[in-house]
């Protein structure tokens, strides 16, 4: 399950401290007698990578980060920095910068002292400390707030101070634990761009934990999707987005229509036909093979891949538009089929609530996975684990 992240990274610069590769090998973390929060987790992080750990709360992503940072002991496994084993070192000797979900700014210290803290711990001379703190604050555009206490700043500013504080020590790797999930929507998008800009400018190596697929897709050079403490899929954002290996990953990648169906017959190549909503549906088999007729499968379709066709031809699923949301450029429609199934459609055609829609989708955009679907796994509410 090793993930290699060799080759293309977007960074021209190199980190201050040279390292080539950070490896987690078989890392397992169990709390008491509960099933492990993280099991046999392998991850390789090359210099200049931006890796996003993605999954719902409880999938083990924050645990992986805490293990790497040295904030939690490993139950099994090891962590290596090139040829050197580092998981036996305490957190303060690992030299990673960490950004926390709740910012974790020292409330009794000014912004400047917060940013200088890591440098003071490294016994950097006062003058140099001030210069480097100022430089870090300039990176996050907060240099005019030096003297303020964290409580005098807004949430977004506080998180920028936290980022500056982590950057000031010029860490080999920056670990970010859901850094944006406490910010409101507009600020989140702004800070996301900010993080990407800093990553590109400073040539950082980042491990980023999030439950938000949009964040993961927009920031990362490599995605790692976790499920119940295990690695589910890894790849570039494009790979994972286009070809989710399981219905679980599909659910994270914006395949909002996930519904159970019955296997009907195999077609040419990966083409299959399944029965759903009382109709036969042409799709592409992603996982599973040699399925018996009537076997349980799960179908995943993106809302934007459902097309409203003009006439109710034989292949189309008919559904009644129940809720129509206006999203500016497009409409988001929630429609109900005659047998009670719910479908989500994104369209630029005018739809009014109460109208009947004939919906079709291209066979290569209808992904079919073997087995049923566990809806509980998609409880992707924001929250710590």
Binding site for another protein (CB under 8 A): 69-71, 90-98, 100-108, 117-118, 121-122, 149-151, 155, 158-159, 162, 165-166, 169, 175, 182
Name the residue nearer to another protein (CB basis): 69 or 295: 69
Residue 119 C-beta: closest distance to another protein, Å: 9
- H or E element at residue 22: strand 21-29
Sheet containing strand 50-54, strands side by side: 97-99, 174-177, 206-210, 50-54, 222-227, 230-235
243 Cβ contact list (under 8 Å, min separation 6): 235, 286
Name the residue nearer to another protein (CB basis): 81 or 302: 81
CB-CB neighbours of 351 under 10 Å: 17
Residue 176 C-beta: closest distance to another protein, Å: 12
Rounded to the nearest 5°, which phi and psi values hold at 307? -110, 135
Name the residue nearer to another protein (CB basis): 89 or 346: 89
Residue 72 C-beta: closest distance to another protein, Å: 10
Alpha-carbon distance 161 to 178, whole Å? 15
Name the residue nearer to another protein (CB basis): 184 or 348: 184
Instruction: Identify the CA nearest to 339 among candidates 253, 241, 259.
Output: 259
In 3-state terms, what secondary structure has residue 260?
strand
Alpha-carbon distances of 361 from 260, 269, 281, rounded to whole Å = 16, 18, 9
Which tokens sit at 31? 């709390």
Name the residue nearer to another protein (CB basis): 149 or 342: 149
Alpha-carbon distances of 297 from 240, 283, 300, 316, rounded to whole Å = 20, 11, 10, 20
Residue 105 C-beta: closest distance to another protein, Å: 6
Name the residue nearer to another protein (CB basis): 163 or 321: 163
Residue 46 C-beta: closest distance to another protein, Å: 21
Name the residue nearer to another protein (CB basis): 135 or 363: 135
Residue 290 C-beta: closest distance to another protein, Å: 49
Residue 23 C-beta: closest distance to another protein, Å: 19
Q: Which residues of 317-332 are buried (b: 16+ CB within 10 A; e: fewer)?
A: bebebeebeeeeeebb
């Amino acid at each position: 399950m090793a993930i290699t992240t060799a080759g293309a990274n977007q960074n021209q610069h190199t980190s201050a401290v040279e390292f080539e590769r950070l490896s987690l090998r078989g890392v397992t973390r169990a709390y008491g007698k509960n099933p492990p929060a993280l099991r046999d987790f392998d991850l390789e992080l090359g210099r200049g990578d931006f890796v996003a750990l993605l999954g719902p709360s409880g999938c083990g992503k924050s645990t992986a980060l805490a293990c790497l940072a040295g904030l939690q002991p490993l139950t099994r496994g090891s962590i290596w920095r090139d040829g050197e084993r580092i998981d036996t070192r305490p957190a303060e000797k690992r030299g990673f910068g960490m950004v926390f979900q709740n910012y974790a700014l020292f409330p009794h210290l000014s912004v400047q002292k917060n940013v200088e803290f890591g440098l003071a711990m490294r016994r950097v001379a006062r003058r140099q400390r001030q210069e480097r703190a100022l430089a870090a604050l300039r990176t996050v555009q907060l240099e005019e707030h030096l003297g303020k206490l964290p409580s005098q700043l807004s949430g977004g500013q506080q998180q920028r101070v936290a980022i500056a504080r982590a950057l000031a020590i010029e860490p080999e790797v920056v670990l970010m634990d859901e850094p944006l999930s406490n910010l409101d929507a507009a600020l989140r998008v702004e800070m996301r761009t900010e993080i990407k800009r800093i990553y590109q400018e400073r040539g950082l190596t980042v491990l980023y934990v999030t439950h938000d697929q949009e964040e993961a897709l927009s920031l990362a050079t490599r995605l790692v999707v976790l499920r119940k403490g295990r690695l589910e899929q890894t790849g570039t954002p494009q790979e994972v987005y286009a070809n989710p290996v399981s219905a679980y990953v599909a659910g994270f990648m914006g395949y909002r229509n996930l519904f159970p169906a019955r296997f009907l017959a195999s077609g040419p190549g990966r083409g299959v036909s399944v029965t759903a909503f009382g109709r036969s549906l042409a799709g592409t088999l992603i996982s599973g093979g040699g399925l018996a007729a009537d076997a349980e499968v799960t179908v995943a379709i993106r809302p934007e891949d459902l097309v409203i066709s003009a006439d109710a031809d034989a292949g189309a699923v008919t559904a009644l538009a129940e809720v129509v949301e206006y999203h500016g450029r497009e409409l988001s429609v929630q429609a109900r089929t005659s047998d009670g199934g719910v479908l989500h459609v994104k369209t630029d055609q005018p739809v009014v609530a109460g109208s009947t829609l004939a919906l079709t989708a291209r066979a290569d955009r209808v992904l079919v996975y073997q087995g049923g679907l566990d809806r509980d796994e998609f409880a992707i509410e924001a929250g710590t684990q």
